[in-house]
Chain A
Amino acid sequence: MYVYDEYDQKIVEERVKQFRDQTRRYLAGELSGEEYRPLRLQNGLYIQRYAPMLRIAVPYGLLNTKQVRKLAQIARDYDKGYAHVSTRQNFQFNWPELEEIPDILAELATVQMHAIQTSGNCIRNTTTDQFAGVAADELVDPRPWCEIIRQWSTFHPEFAHLPRKFKIAVNGAKMDRAAIEVHDIGLEAVKNEAGELGFRVLVGGGQGRTPYVGAFIKDFLPWQHLLTYLEAILRVYNRYGRRDNKFKARIKILVKALGENVFAEKVEAEWAYLKDGPSMLIEAEVERVSKFFVDPAYEALEDQSEALAKLEAEHPGFARWRTRNTFPHKKPGYIAVTLSLKPIGTAPGDITDKQLDAVADLADRYSFGELRTSHTQNIILADVRQDQLFTLWNELRENGFATPNVGLLTDMICCPGGDFCSLANAKSIPVAESIQRRFDDLDYLFDIGDIDLNISGCMNACGHHHVGHIGILGVDKKGEEFYQVSLGGYAGRDASLAKILGPSFAQEEMPDVIEKIINVYVGQRTEDERFIDTYRRIGIEPFKERVYAKNH
């Protein structure tokens, strides 16, 4: 993974100093609350319902164990002993004291971490595939490009105050696990016929109040021009994005208003000036950054299919876990493992300080001292030896990471909602929990199979409800918390947005509603048909009928 040099280190240290002074001025009354707001937001600091919330950047979801131990220590010393993995692969602390934030940042800087641009109207943390670099279906490793974008976007002077937040995602694999089509900019690394590397560029995707699947405006952007082209897009957006209404300020609204072709022309015109300037990337830099992402010292191993099959026959629990929580690795004899942060009864994505220490320890022993976070709020050990999988599974069970539900109904994406977030219309965590409790039968869960259930506490869609096969949105109905259900969202390649099922429901109705939806699927599916495919075949009507039927 990328290691800071003296320049990178200097920038985060100077940031700590700057933010310490900003916070001091605020506490001394030299900055009003309103003036401090954009400054603290650009440093990931929200003032929430009960306490401040601090969002720490985890660039493209990659962490080493030193960093994880630091997070554990911060959770212990400055918080209530736990942290939360966000849907943008970042970490959040829910209970720090405002006065102590500069100290937390100083601690983070010692392990090459920060909270820069994790919120606010600026370019946010670039995200990618949680299996980047190890996935068997990968064509191009997106991580060096994410790092190059990270550096370019960090304190970019021109884009410090955009109309609204701005999110970039990069995919380099056949499958799209980074949901690039619902980002402000989605980049897909591709090779042209001559074998040269470039990017397919999408703009104007996004969730929130007006969700859109973005439009591809460039089929092949040679890698040398990545940053100049991004700069052109951002400049057009910075100049022409709406600033009069925060709900219409995202780039997707501008792209829709102009039409994607006109938008693309504007970008091309701007790019023509920037294209061959000094920001054009050079081979030497790509090489320098790529060196940090070469393969770890893999051993020449063989796949362990037989040995694993034997263990599975003896341990059905292991078999179950392996089918759900592991992912094929490009190297024979290795496998990627997902640690589920979705056991029943804990808020999705929450992890305690002890667990963080345990994860670090496991990563050191089983996975070259590195780990990843996913936008589905889980943790990944990417480079596990298959011949150590069984012992790892036993250790994961001891630490509460082995819930065999990755990709299943109970592996929900869920925002912090009304329990923490001051923007929420409704709570989301208790809804997640009530559904998890209803579907606590593992056999049944396995039978239902792959399904994305995503929950957001309000329109801002941090819980990605628009792209859940089943989406749940907290709404406010005359001061009461209600939940709107939608179906058919999909975040992968050829993304689609979910359609609203009908009138919203009270919280206690939700497990029943979800159960009815699942029953329709189970009754209608053909063999091996996933929920999303059944939905696409039969449409929303059968679900509607069942859920809203009078005597049900």
Chain B
Amino acid sequence: MQKIIKGREIVTDNWHLLPKETTFEEIPNTDNVIIPVALWLEHGHALTTRDGRLGVWLDSDEEPESIADSLEHFQVIAINFPAFTDGRGFSYARLLRERFGYKGEIRAIGDVLQDQLYFMQRCGFDAYVIRADRDPEAALAGLNDFTVTYQTGADQPQPLFRRRLA
């Protein structure tokens, strides 16, 4: 099993990410799976009676609004970064956390490297699957790049200008 960053630790992952072309019939009953969002949108509640746990993943052009009403069914929502420089997922995570109130795990998948982690955690991510050719242990340092932040974020409900007054 692969190692991922969860919170601020390295853990062994017990989820299976199913690729986009997966069909409904191929979804195992007992495994913990993260399914492509299209499958959820098509089969929805038929998937909630499985024995295994359920997560869903969004590609960078798949909008989080589509699952905003079904968040209670997912233990994990993964957001794909097809490229390091594709920043759409940052907005998606913020919306899931701040607007839709999602409390489960939000994990970053795809081209995920040390130097995005700090921003990701601020946007509401709490799990990171570091690209396979890189060491997640080394990447951990990226979570601590800064100790001061100007803006609000998942890690900081008040902007600095309000905290400065205190």
Q: Which A residues contact B (CB, under 8 angstroms)?
A: 5, 7, 10-11, 14-15, 18, 21-22, 35, 38-39, 121, 148, 151-152, 154-163, 227, 235, 238-239, 243, 273, 277-279, 281-282, 284-285, 288
- Whether A278 and B149, one on each chain, are in contact in the complex, defined by CB atoms closer than 8 angstroms, is no
B165 pairs with A284, CB closer than 8 A: yes
Q: Of B90, B113, B146, B161, which is within 8 A of A160 by CB?
A: B90
Which residue from B90, B152, B157, B160 sits with its C-beta under 8 Å from A159?
Answer: B90
Neighbouring B residues of A157 by C-beta, 8 Å: 90, 118-120, 122-123, 149, 151, 153
Contacts of A21 in B (CB 8 A): 141
Check if A158 sits within 8 Å of B123, measured CB to CB. yes
Chain A residues near B88: list those with CB within 8 A. Answer: 238-239, 243
Q: Is the CB of A161 within 8 A of B99?
A: no
Of B24-32, B51-59, B79-87, B101-109, the stretch lying at the interface with chain A is B79-87
Is B119 within 8 A of A160, CB to CB? yes
The 8 closest A-B pairs by CB, nearest first: A161-B87, A157-B122, A285-B161, A157-B119, A158-B90, A151-B150, A160-B119, A10-B148
Q: Is B116 an interface residue (CB 8 A)?
A: yes
Which residues of the partner chain A approach B158 to less than 8 Å between Cβ atoms? 278
16 additional A-B residue pairs with CB within 8 Å, beyond A282-B161, A282-B162, A285-B165: A5-B164, A7-B148, A14-B148, A21-B141, A22-B115, A152-B159, A155-B146, A157-B123, A158-B119, A160-B116, A227-B159, A239-B91, A278-B158, A279-B159, A285-B164, A288-B164
Q: Mark B108-151, 1 if CB is under 8 A from A, else 0.
A: 00000101101110110000000000000000010001111111
- Asked whether B85 lies within 8 Å of A14 as measured between CB atoms, the reply is no
Taking a contact as CB atoms closer than 8 A, the residue among B94, B145, B150, B157 that contacts A14 in the complex is: B145
CA distance A177 to B72 in the complex (A): 53
Cα distance, A148 to B164, chains bound together (Å): 13
- Interface pair B90/A161, CB less than 8 Å apart: yes
Q: Are A278 and B87 in contact (CB under 8 A)?
A: no
Chain B residues with Cβ below 8 Å from A148 are: 161
Q: How large is the interface on B (under 10, 10 to 19, 20 to 34, 35 or more residues)?
A: 35 or more
Q: How long is the Cα–Cα vector from A376 to B165 in the complex, in angstroms?
A: 38
Minimum CB distance partner of B123 in chain A: A157
* Minimum Cβ distance to chain A for residue B161 (Å): 4
23 A-B interface contacts by CB (under 8 A): A14-B146, A14-B148, A35-B113, A121-B85, A148-B161, A155-B146, A157-B90, A157-B119, A157-B120, A158-B91, A158-B94, A159-B87, A160-B116, A161-B116, A163-B87, A235-B91, A239-B63, A278-B157, A278-B159, A279-B152, A281-B161, A282-B162, A282-B165
Residues of A within 8 A of B86 (CB): 161, 243
Name the residue on A nearest B151 (C-beta). A156
Which among A154, A162, A227, A288 is the interface contact of B87 at CB below 8 angstroms? Answer: A162
Q: How far is the CA of A281 from the CA of B158 in the complex (A)?
A: 11
Q: Does B148 lie within 8 Å of A160, measured CB to CB? A: no
Contact indicator B91/A7 (Cβ below 8 Å) = no
A11 and B148 in contact (CB under 8 A), knowing A39-B115, A121-B85? Answer: yes
- Within the complex, the shortest CB–CB distance from B112 to chain A, in Å, comes to 12
Note all chain B residues with C-beta closer than 8 A to A15.
Answer: 146
Residues in B neighbouring A162, C-beta threshold 8 A: 87
Closest to A234 in B: B91
Nearest CB in chain A: distance from B102 CB, A: 15
Q: Which of A11, A35, A159 contacts B84 (CB 8 A)?
A: A35
Q: In the assembled complex, which residues on chain A have CB atoms less than 8 Å from the CB atom of B157?
A: 278
Residues of chain A within 8 A of B141, CB atoms compared: 21
Q: Looking across the interface, which residue of chain B has its beta carbon closest to that of A161?
A: B87
A121 to B63, CA, bound (A): 22
A278 touches B152 (CB 8 A): yes
**B150, A154: Cβ atoms closer than 8 Å:** yes
Contact A10 B90 (CB under 8 A): no
| B80, chain A: closest CB distance, angstroms | 13
CB-based contact B99/A273 at 8 Å: yes
Q: Which residue of A lies closest to B121 (CB)?
A: A157
Q: Which residue of B lies closest to A156 (CB)?
A: B151
Q: Which residue of A lies closest to B94 (CB)?
A: A158
| Complex contact A155–B164 (CB within 8 A) | no
CB-CB under 8 A from A282, the residues of chain B are: 161-162, 165
| Distance from A121 Cβ to chain B, minimum over Cβ atoms (Å) | 7
Query: Most chain-B CB neighbours within 10 Å: which of A11, A38, A161?
Result: A161
Interface hub of A10, A278, A282 (most chain B Cβ within 10 A):
A278
In the complex, which residues of chain A have a beta carbon less than 8 angstroms from the beta carbon of B84?
35, 38, 161
CB B98 to nearest CB in A, in angstroms, measures 8
Give the residue among B84, B88, B149, B157 with the most A Cβ atoms within 10 A. Answer: B88
Contact B162 A278 (CB under 8 A): yes
Which residues from chain B contact A7 at a C-beta distance below 8 Å?
148, 160, 164
The answer to whether A151 and B87 have CB atoms under 8 Å apart is: no
Contacts of B150 in A (CB 8 A): 11, 151-152, 154-156
For the complex, give the distance between the alpha carbons of A35 and B113 in Å. Answer: 9
* Min CB gap A543→B, angstroms: 43
Residues of A within 8 A of B151 (CB): 152, 155-157, 279
Provide the bound-state CA to CA distance between A121 and B87, in Å: 10
Q: How far is the CA of A10 from the CA of B115 in the complex (A)?
A: 19
Distance from B137 Cβ to chain A, minimum over Cβ atoms (Å): 13
Residue of B nearest to A6 (CB): B148
Q: Which of A5, A159, A163, A243 has the most CB of B within 10 A?
A: A243
Chain B residues, Cβ within 8 Å of A284 = 161, 165
Which of B150, B157, B164 counts the most A-chain CB atoms under 10 A from its CB? B150
Chain B hits for A281, CB < 8 A: 161
- In the bound complex, do residue A18 and residue B145 qualify as a contact, i.e. CB atoms below 8 Å apart? yes
Among B141, B146, B153: residue with most chain A CB under 10 A: B146
Which residues of chain A come closer than 8 Å to B145, judged between CB atoms? 14, 18
Smallest Cβ-Cβ distance to B61: which chain A residue:
A243
* Cα–Cα, bound, A162→B119 (Å): 13
Tell me which residues across on chain A come within 8 A of B146, comparing CB atoms: 11, 14-15, 18, 155
Q: Is the CB of B91 within 8 A of A10?
A: no
Chain B residues near A155 (CB, 8 Å)?
119, 146, 149-151
